[in-house]
Amino acid sequence: MSMRGRLTTVVVLFLVGVGVVVLCVATFLKPGTPGGVTDFTKSQPAGQPVHLLAQVVGSIGFGPHPTWVSYMVMNPTTHKWVQDTTWKLPAHTKIDMTIEQFDSGSPLRNQEWGQIQGTIGNSMQLNGKTVSVYNSFTGTGVGHTFAVPTLGISVPLVGVNGSDTLCGEGPCSTKMPHNEITFSFNTKGPGNFPWQCFVPCGLGWLFGNGGPMSTQNFMGGFLDVVNS
């Protein structure tokens, strides 16, 4: 191959590499399913604990990405499930959170994610049983995690048996196989705190970290903490 031919090949490969990087960045930054902010600041008298009910579904079943895994949350005003991961919470308030986990699980890549951290008592209730550490090599493994890094919160969401008939689309009925995880934490002063899942669950994406893992309103969002 001539010098000019080799140079052309190098330039083409470079441009392909740049294109891949741009595509990855665009995928990470793209918006999720349109959703507003679910407001929990008026769902109870000032100073009283907030109850936040969410669920994780193996496939959302609607919208532009119907097969993607996703969170849903119960709107405290309309009492309807919505696909929204930005939650407005009052500052300096106890949050009692319940997550209904309908997705299957597997062993964690990092076993430290099996340690419950940042919740009141550094524990959670798994179907009514108090757990402080979950061994993901036992039982049905872990499907996802709910983690707020800036608040030091990390909670493993135990998976259901993948051989069972799983919920096909959200919102899911509690009659379908699921695990109920409950825990509490205290909000701090006002701020915008990102939360996310640390289990790579973007099937078909590089290392599982694309798709729903990097798109808001699917497997990550924000705690918008404000003064009451």
Note the pLDDT of residue 15: 42
Mean pLDDT, to the nearest integer, of 134-147?
Answer: 94
pLDDT at residue 89, as a whole number: 98
Predicted local distance difference test score (pLDDT) of residue 168: 82
Residue 33 has pLDDT above 90, yes or no: no
Average pLDDT for 167-195? 96
Q: What is the pLDDT of residue 207?
A: 66
Return the SS3 of 212: helix
More confident residue, 48 or 30: 48
Residue 151: pLDDT band with limits 50, 70, 90: very high
Q: Which residues contact 172 (CB under 8 A, 6 or more apart)?
A: 55, 57, 100, 102, 178
**Is the pLDDT assigned to residue 68 strictly greater than 70?**
yes
Closest CA to 217 of 24, 79, 81, 23: 81
pLDDT of residue 210: 80
pTM of this structure: 0.82
CA dihedral 22, 24, 25, 29 (to 10 degrees): 130
Sign of the CA dihedral 69, 148, 114, 126? negative
pLDDT of residue 28: 35
- Pick the most confident of 58-67, 93-102, 135-144, 165-174: 93-102
- Quote the pLDDT of residue 10: 43
Domains of the chain: which residue ranges?
A: 31-226
Architecture in CATH for domain 31-226: Sandwich (2.60)
Task: List the strands of the sheet with 153-158, edge to edge.
Answer: 38-39, 86-90, 220-226, 191-196, 142-148, 153-158
pLDDT at 213: 85
What per-residue confidence (pLDDT) applies to 201? 74
> Residue 138 CA to chain centroid, in angstroms?
22
Across the chain, mean pLDDT equals 86
pLDDT of amino acid 73: 98
Q: Note the pLDDT tens digit of each residue in 78-103.
A: 999 999 999 999 999 999 999 999 99
Which of 10-14, 134-138, 158-162 is the least confident region?
10-14
Determine the pLDDT at residue 29.
35
Quote the pLDDT of residue 32: 41
